[in-house]
Structure 1
Amino acid sequence: MARRGRSGAALVIAMGTLAAACAAPGSNSPQPAATSAAAPSTAPTCGTAPITMNGYFETGFPLPKALTTEFTKQHPNVTWNVREDQFAVITQNAPRVLADNPPDLMRLPQVSELVKDSLLKNLDGYAKVFGWDKWPASQLEQLRLGPGGRPRGEGSLYALGLNSSMTGIFYNKKLAAKIGMSAPPATLAELDAAMDKAKKAGITPIVQFNGGATGGLAFPLQDLMASYGPAAPINDWIFQKPGATIDTPSNLQAVQHLERWIKAGYFQKDVNAVDYATMMSRFIDGQGLFMFNGDWESGNLDKQLPGDVGFSLMPPAQEGGKRAAMSAPLTFGIAANAKNADCAAFFLNWVATDKRAREIGVEVGGSRPMGPADAYMPEVAADKVTAATLAAGADISKDNGAMDFIANATGAIYAKSWTPQLQKLVAGQQKPQELLKAVQADYTSQLEGN
């Protein structure tokens, strides 16, 4: 998922000696993508000897840092040496970092090519011994890949999520009150009307980012795709299913609707120059009514604007229609040659099962932690935006409307296709019907090139 800022680097590891029970489930050498890792007889741990974990995380998002800090409190023999980069940089650096300076734990971009190149550790052995394969299957579907990295959605497990994130619409309640909006729009037409009222009242309807290599107009576009059409064909395209296409009539309606918002002036004029951090700063400063973003910001917004932010899923085109949204794990993986793979796997399991870790996932991450269906869930006050995002996640599950992020279809599709094409749409240099054809052509070319 889009989400949010990023970083990476080679780090020095002070390697401790692990007990025999901590033997890695499989060789530390890169495995062919189709090879499953054997499960150890007992679950690995981080042992008791000093270990320095090598991490490569995304900058700008406090959840991983909060979790690693708490982990060290509970396991004081484990310290963390973490490099951070923006997600766009991680996307570009991932193959080199995983090959040359393999981290123990890494925030991952799209994973198909990384699996094809045997850069990620196969987690099947860990899944068996920790019981991850008994979690709800939908939690891990997006992290499974077939031989050679295709298709996604089935096969071996190569990553895990710190939580399950979801995108939707945040809104400023004080600005909403100024235009008479007392509840989230129930239909796409109502959302359009609210934006029009805001524009006429001198309020910027949408604060969004679209600058740099990973632009944010993909968020509202995918939400519009969810309003106009079913989620399954979009997931098929993202998962590289044979014959799948993004160039469909309902997706064309979505791009056309986005273009209408652009031409109506609903986005700030400099949207193509705005990065993620600037978008967040402007929204927190009250400079716009709506923001299309993910629940990973819920905890932050509850602190920055307590009681003043609402959240809703994108409304359907027709009243009563089912809702869908980008809902995907905050993906982390273990390098194939990681020196402390067992401890990294133990950490990932701890994130999903430890009571305090799950509390941090909700309080800081703003979204539902992954893990067993009956796992502990902390209570959240009803007036917090985090409560709204958690409720929205439950609605998505009920409607079976979870989609992976359209930027995850291939390793290069976000930076080299979606972002420049959407930037051209903003600049009036691209038409909706040609945008989808261009993205589909890039997708086909990238798949054939692999």
Structure 2
Amino acid sequence: MRIGKFAKTVAAGALAVACLTSVAACGPGSSNNNASDVPAEEVSTDLGDGTYELTLWDGAGLKALDDALIAGFQEKYPNITITATYDPDNVTQQNGPRIISASDTPDLARITDIGSAARGNHLVNLEEYADAYGWELPDAQTTIYRVGADGQIGADGDLYAVPSSLSMTGLFWNKDLGAKIGLTEAPKSMEELEDAMAKAKDAGILPMMLPGKDGGASFIYQALMVNAGGADAVQSWIVQNDGASFDTDAAKTAAETLQSWAEAGYLPSDVNAVDASTALGRFTAGEGLFFPSGNWNVASVSEAMGDAAGFTSYPGTTESDPATAALNAGSAFGIPANAKNKNAAAAFLDYLTTEEARQIVIDNSGYAPAGDGELPTSGDALVTEMLTVYGDLMSDGATTDFINNATAGIQSSTLIPNFQLLLDGSLDAAEFPGIVQSAYEEELGK
């Protein structure tokens, strides 16, 4: 399957005149005084025979994949050396803004807050490079890495980061348990999913493994919310568009549905004590017909369950409605405005879009490949299922970023504790959306 039905060719024509002769960041917002100390570098794909020493910063969870990508890149560009540094994943969100704005910033960096980074002029606007290299990147992969002149994140803005790979939510299911209730293929609608869970409950099978301790409920909840109100409304809230709200009928409907599943006994009795690691272990040991999670667990599930494991997207309300998923980069790499080797850094971003890099992603992670083109292949059956799901979503599905990413604090301070209250019945489902929206507005200072 080829990705690119809705691919958008990135063009340089939208650049302001002031950005045409320099790759210093030209995003909206306050100026970055440090950037003026870095000499302008005319955009070029010709690096000549000079030697370059680049630095790259990312989270430690992506080290194995990054190292493989760097090795492939350096083989193609023997005159370029990349030295990578990694922070613990739980501090990258906090450290990211400081790292990309420093005077000694890396040449390539994981971008943890694209909006403030672009508005603060801390990033290179990548439109000229996209035009020079001829990048064609599907909208679903790049919308959340674009920022417009008004500071809003969205498809109409300029590109400031390129994903190395893509994390994607989905629904694992146990085919052996499914066979016991006559389920021979993944549910194609939420009605079919609920019917299968009811049959599993009657057969003494846990319908759905779910980690309530650390926020895993958000994945299936988000799918229910998208089904009820559409992907655009959810995405608008995630990227902090003016007027967007979580306090909607769709969010209420999703909360009521999730709570009803808990009340029906479809979830673990100790759901709020189950973290992601425990849920993964219990599911792969045979507990639970379904497990809402993401492709980051494909390798672990495949190794533990083999052919008994299946992976599918979250189904629409009916079979005719689009399947859904939350989708964003494993890492989204940008070039800080203070980077010393911008053209060489852009060559690495270009490499991420190549068939070679896309295959490296498949061979070294459970993530989906970024960029356009034929999907890589895998000898692993579950990885192949994941790639098929991904290809279908790129063509006909409804994708958004993760609601957990809407603000820096929304996950830990609001979503996790209130999902727990929702699941144990302590919170009226009708109150859940308003609580989340109030916390969101407080954090954003609205």
Normalised by the length of structure 2, the TM-score is 0.81
2:339 maps to: 338
Pair 1:395–1:306, CA change in 2 (3 A): same
SS of 1:27's equivalent in the other structure is: coil
CA contact (8 A) 1:163 1:368 kept: yes
The counterpart of 1:425, out of the listed 417, 422, 425, is 422
1:379 maps to: 377
SS of 2:69's equivalent in the other structure is: helix
Alignment of 1:142-161 (within 5 A): 142-147=144-149, 149-161=151-163
Q: Once the two structures are superposed, what CA deviation does each residue of 1:270-299 show, in whole Å capped at 9, x if it has no partner? A: 443444333333333333322212234334
Matched residue pairs, number?
417
Alignment of 1:46-445 (within 5 A): 49=51, 51=53, 53-59=55-61, 62-75=64-77, 77-86=80-89, 88-100=90-102, 102-132=105-135, 134-147=136-149, 149-212=151-214, 215-334=215-334, 335-353=336-354, 355-372=355-372, 375-380=373-378, 384-445=381-442
CA contact (8 A) 1:142 1:152 kept: yes
Deviation at 1:314, TM superposition (A): 1.5
SS of 1:260's equivalent in the other structure is: helix
Deviation at 1:251, TM superposition (A): 2.3
Q: Distance in 2 between matches of 1:171 and 1:386?
A: 14
Q: Distance in 1 between matches of 2:141 and 2:107?
A: 22
Q: Distance in 2 between matches of 1:209 and 1:66?
A: 31
Q: Distance in 2 between matches of 1:271 and 1:400?
A: 29
Deviation at 1:46, TM superposition (A): 9.8
Specify the code of the residue in structure 1 equivalent to 2:339: A
Deviation at 1:148, TM superposition (A): 6.5
Q: Distance in 1 between matches of 2:388 and 2:56?
A: 35
Q: Once the two structures are superposed, what CA deviation does each residue of 1:219-261 show, in whole Å capped at 9, x if it has no partner? A: 1111111333321222222233332222222221111111122
Specify the code of the residue in structure 1 equivalent to 2:400: M
CA contact (8 A) 1:40 1:125 kept: no
Q: Distance in 1 between matches of 2:270 and 2:95?
A: 28
Q: Distance in 1 between matches of 2:31 and 2:216?
A: 36
Specify the code of the residue in structure 1 equivalent to 2:441: T
SS of 1:322's equivalent in the other structure is: coil
Deviation at 1:119, TM superposition (A): 3.7
Pair 1:200–1:80, CA change in 2 (3 A): farther
CA contact (8 A) 1:39 1:129 kept: no
RMSD: 3.3
Pair 1:224–1:58, CA change in 2 (3 A): farther
CA contact (8 A) 1:98 1:119 kept: yes
SS of 1:305's equivalent in the other structure is: helix
CA contact (8 A) 1:104 1:339 kept: yes
SS of 1:307's equivalent in the other structure is: helix
Q: Once the two structures are superposed, what CA deviation does each residue of 1:178-224 show, in whole Å capped at 9, x if it has no partner? A: 33321112222321232233344444333333434xx2211111111
Deviation at 1:32, TM superposition (A): 5.2
SS of 2:422's equivalent in the other structure is: helix
Specify the code of the residue in structure 1 equivalent to 2:125: N
Q: Distance in 2 between matches of 1:47 and 1:402?
A: 42
SS of 2:165's equivalent in the other structure is: strand
CA contact (8 A) 2:52 2:344 kept: no
Deviation at 1:167, TM superposition (A): 1.6
More displaced 10-residue stretch of structure 1: 235-244 or 435-444: 235-244
Q: Distance in 1 between matches of 2:41 and 2:370?
A: 21
Pair 1:198–1:239, CA change in 2 (3 A): same
Q: Distance in 2 between matches of 1:34 and 1:365?
A: 38
Q: Distance in 1 between matches of 2:73 and 2:260?
A: 48
SS of 2:171's equivalent in the other structure is: strand
Unpaired runs of 5+ in structure 2? 1-20
Q: Once the two structures are superposed, what CA deviation does each residue of 1:115-163 show, in whole Å capped at 9, x if it has no partner? A: 334443332332232223x444443222101247424333222211113
Deviation at 1:83, TM superposition (A): 1.4
Q: Distance in 2 between matches of 1:251 and 1:398?
A: 26
Specify the code of the residue in structure 2 equivalent to 1:89: V
Deviation at 1:34, TM superposition (A): 8.2
Q: Distance in 2 between matches of 1:149 and 1:315?
A: 33
SS of 1:59's equivalent in the other structure is: helix
Q: Distance in 1 between matches of 2:253 and 2:199?
A: 23
Unpaired runs of 5+ in structure 1? 1-23
Identity of aligned residues (%): 32
2:11 maps to: none
Q: Once the two structures are superposed, what CA deviation does each residue of 1:346-374 show, in whole Å capped at 9, x if it has no partner? A: 22211211x321112233344542324xx
